[in-house]
């Protein structure tokens, strides 16, 4: 190995040591703001995670759908949960991801909706619910009801409450 | 260890990543229309044009991008691992993650990180300058060492975050995962009492924290990798995080090639 190669390797070892030290700082002090290119790069790309953080495993939202036809309300269905369950029984990862996508869609859509007065900015959420009904409900329904339910677990206790009831 | 052994190992690791990526494309493909309806992709900056340039193909036809990428991956699994295909795959993978932004998860972040590192891993084609052979080998070994460091740091980060979390320390996090809808396999139901939750929770914390340090000690390496595989198999089956479990298990491959002690930096860098 040539002398210049040894020098280059020395520099590489020093750079790796600096990188490890910097990463450990980011690990020990997770509240360091990510407002610069370096901090953002480190926290987002070089140190992916942490996974399964406390905030991600506290709440779970479900969207129940029911419709009225011939003056009768149908039993509530939960197609997103059905997709989730079927993904395991059919070993179909596409269904699992679809369930994840739809949860993201309805959580973001419905949590924005203020039922007292639906402002134009909330129309996207309403449009989403209409498309949800068109996908999973019958086209002949007179009315549609959405029940948005939150399950929360904390300190070994689980509670369930209805966040929104929307009827169209 | 001979350089040839290392080249074979690098090829196996890179091709495993490519095969995983191909698998990912296949199960994401049916969702592309819904994802684009939900959050259409647009270029917002010059950096975006550069970083996500392969997504220009989606403006013509989304299937063209996915199909082209799938074919590239099939070809890359067959041909010799090289700088050019490694770079193009990494570029396309970052673009794929951007296209499926609403549904990306930890597996995509880990995958892209290791695909970036994988650009420097190949030893082919031979570069046409003096001492290139030696430089390519050193670059490859440094990249491999960097991959090992990053993987250990990911575990350390995850373990330390759990150690700071009251709900992980008390075992309540395990209870949450076990009881909340959409967090576990609905066909596998456990009735876990508080003591079991605490034991499981601390086992995860100790494993993740311990991995970051003990993986560098030769006698702990194989037991840790075996424990890790079991840990991720449980994650895949019980939590349904198949993609995350697979990519983590593939990345264990970065620790396998060296017969000598990996904590000896000279062994890695200077052969």
* Closest C-alpha to A141, from A47, A94, A58, A77: A77
Distance CA B106, CA B92 (A): 18
Residue B260 lies in a domain: no
pLDDT for A51-105, tens place per residue? Answer: 877 878 888 999 999 999 888 999 999 999 999 999 999 999 999 999 999 999 8
Question: Total structural domains in chain B?
Answer: 1
What one-character-per-residue DSSP string does A96-123 give?
HHHHHHHHHHHHHHHHH--TTS--GGGH
Residues 6+ away with beta carbon under 8 Å from A47: A23, A26, A27, B150, B153, B154, B157
B153: its two tokens: 């740091």
Q: How many residues does chain B have?
A: 271
Point out which residues pair with A63 in neighbouring strands. A148
In a domain, B33, yes or no: yes
Tell me the nearest-neighbour CA distance from B29 into chain A, angstroms. Answer: 8
- The better pLDDT of the pair A40, A64 is held by A64
Partner residue facing A94 (CB), from B30, B131, B187: B30
Mutate to test the interface with B, among A41, A56, A57 (most CBs of B within 10 A): A57
Q: Residue B54 and residue B99: Cα distance in Å, rounded?
A: 10
Predicted confidence at residue B265, as pLDDT, reads 45
Kindly report the average pLDDT of chain A as a whole number.
Answer: 85
Task: Tell me which of A14 and A31 has the higher pLDDT.
Answer: A14
Q: Residues of B with CB below 8 A from A10's CB?
A: none
- DSSP bridge partners of A166: A146
Assigned domain for B113 exists: yes
User: What residues contact residue A150 under an 8 Å CB cut-off, 6+ apart?
Assistant: A59, A60, A61, A160, A161, A162, A163
C-beta neighbour count of B262 within 10 angstroms: 20
- The residue behind tokens 């010799």 is B80
CA-based nearest distance B56→chain A, Å: 23
In a domain, B268, yes or no: no
Query: What pLDDT score was predicted for residue B103?
Result: 93
Instruction: Look at residue A146 and tell me whether its pLDDT is greater than 60.
Output: yes
Q: Is the CB of B177 inside 8 Å of chain A's CB atoms?
A: yes
Q: Which member of A48, A62, A88 has the closest CB to residue B110?
A: A48
Tell me the chain B residues in contact with residue A149 when contact means C-beta distances shorter than 8 Å. none
B138 belongs to a structural domain: yes
User: Which of A26, A58, A105 is the closest to B176 by Cβ?
Assistant: A58
What average pLDDT does range A121-126 have in this prediction?
66
Per-residue model confidence (pLDDT) at position B261 = 44
Residue B261 falls inside a structural domain: no
Gap between the Cα atoms of A97 and B38, Å rounded: 14
Residue B267 lies in a domain: no
pLDDT score of A4: 77
Mutation choice for A interface testing from B181, B238, B240, B251 by most A CBs within 10 A:
B181
CB contact residues (below 8 A), chain B span 82-101, against chain A: none
Q: List all residues 6 or more positions away from B49 whose beta carbon is below 8 Å from its beta carbon.
A: B43
- Higher pLDDT residue, A103 or A117? A103
Model confidence band, residue A117 (pLDDT cutoffs 50, 70, 90): low
B47 found inside a domain? yes
Residues of chain B with pLDDT under 70: 1-5, 257-271
Token output for A154: 């904390």
Average pLDDT estimate for A31-54: 81
How confident is the model at residue B263, as a pLDDT?
A: 45
Q: Give ipTM to 2 decimals.
A: 0.88
Which distant-in-sequence residues (6+ apart) come within 8 Å of B255 by Cβ? B148, B151, B215, B221, B225, B262
Domain that holds residue B127: 7-255
Contacts of A5 (CB under 8 A, 6+ apart): B131, B134, B135, B138
Residue labelled with tokens 């702990």: B220
Measuring CA to CA, which residue among B119, B247, B131, B23 is closest to residue A9?
A: B131
Kindly state the DSSP code that residue B171 receives in the 8-state scheme: T
**Are A96 and B240 in contact (CB < 8 Å)?**
yes
Phi then psi for A73, rounded to 5 degrees? Answer: -85, 135
A50 and B161: CB-CB below 8 Å? yes
* Contact between A16 and B146 using a beta-carbon 8 Å cutoff: yes
Q: Where are the alpha helices (DSSP H) in chain B?
A: 3-28, 32-38, 46-51, 56-60, 62-78, 83-99, 106-118, 132-164, 166-170, 172-179, 194-214, 218-234, 242-251, 265-269
Residue A18 tokens, joined:
């600096």
Residue A3 sits at the chain B interface (C-beta within 8 Å): no
CB-CB: which of B38, B181, B187 is closest to A81?
B181
Per-residue model confidence (pLDDT) at position B4? 43
- Please indicate whether, in this complex, the C-beta atoms of A27 and B160 are within 8 angstroms of each other: yes
């Amino acid at each position: 190995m040539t002398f210049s190669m040894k020098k280059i390797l020395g520099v590489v070892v020093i750079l790796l040591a600096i990188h490890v030290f910097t990463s450990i700082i980011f690990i020990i002090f997770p509240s360091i703001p990510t407002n610069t290119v370096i901090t953002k790069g480190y926290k987002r790309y070089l140190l992916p995670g942490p996974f399964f953080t406390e905030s991600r495993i506290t709440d779970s939202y479900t969207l129940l759908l029911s419709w009225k036809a011939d003056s009768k309300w149908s039993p509530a269905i939960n197609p997103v949960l059905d997709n989730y369950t079927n993904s395991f029984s059919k070993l179909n990862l596409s269904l699992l991801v679809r369930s994840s996508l739809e949860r993201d869609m309805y959580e973001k859509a419905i949590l924005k909706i203020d039922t007292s007065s639906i402002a134009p900015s909330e129309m996207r959420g309403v449009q989403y619910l209409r498309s949800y009904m068109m996908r999973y409900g019958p086209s002949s329904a007179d009315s549609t009801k959405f029940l948005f339910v939150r399950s929360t677990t904390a300190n070994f206790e689980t509670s369930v409450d209805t966040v929104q009831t929307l009827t169209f | 260890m001979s350089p040839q052994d290392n080249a074979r190992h690098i090829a196996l690791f890179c091709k495993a990543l490519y095969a995983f990526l191909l698998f990912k494309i296949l199960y994401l493909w049916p969702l592309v229309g819904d994802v684009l309806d939900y959050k259409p992709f647009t270029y917002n900056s010059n950096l975006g044009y550069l970083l996500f340039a392969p997504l220009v193909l989606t403006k013509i036809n989304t299937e063209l991008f996915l199909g082209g990428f799938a074919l590239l991956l099939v070809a890359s699994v067959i041909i010799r691992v090289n700088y050019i295909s490694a770079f193009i795959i990494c570029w396309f993978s970052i673009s794929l993650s951007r296209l499926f932004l609403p549904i990306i998860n930890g597996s995509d972040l880990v995958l892209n990180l290791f695909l970036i590192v994988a650009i420097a891993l190949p030893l082919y084609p031979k570069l046409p300058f003096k001492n290139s052979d030696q430089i390519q080998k050193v670059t490859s070994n440094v990249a491999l060492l960097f991959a090992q460091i990053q993987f250990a740091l990911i575990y350390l980060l995850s373990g330390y975050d759990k150690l700071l979390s009251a709900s992980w320390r008390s075992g309540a996090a395990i209870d949450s995962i076990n009881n909340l809808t959409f967090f576990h396999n609905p066909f596998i139901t456990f009735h876990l009492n508080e003591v079991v939750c605490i034991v499981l929770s601390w086992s995860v914390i100790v494993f993740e924290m311990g991995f970051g340090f003990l993986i560098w000690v030769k006698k702990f390496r194989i037991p840790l990798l075996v424990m890790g595989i079991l840990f991720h198999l449980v994650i895949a089956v019980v939590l349904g995080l198949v993609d995350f479990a697979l990519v983590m298990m593939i990345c264990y491959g970065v620790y396998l090639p060296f017969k000598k002690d990996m904590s000896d930096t000279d062994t890695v860098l200077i052969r």
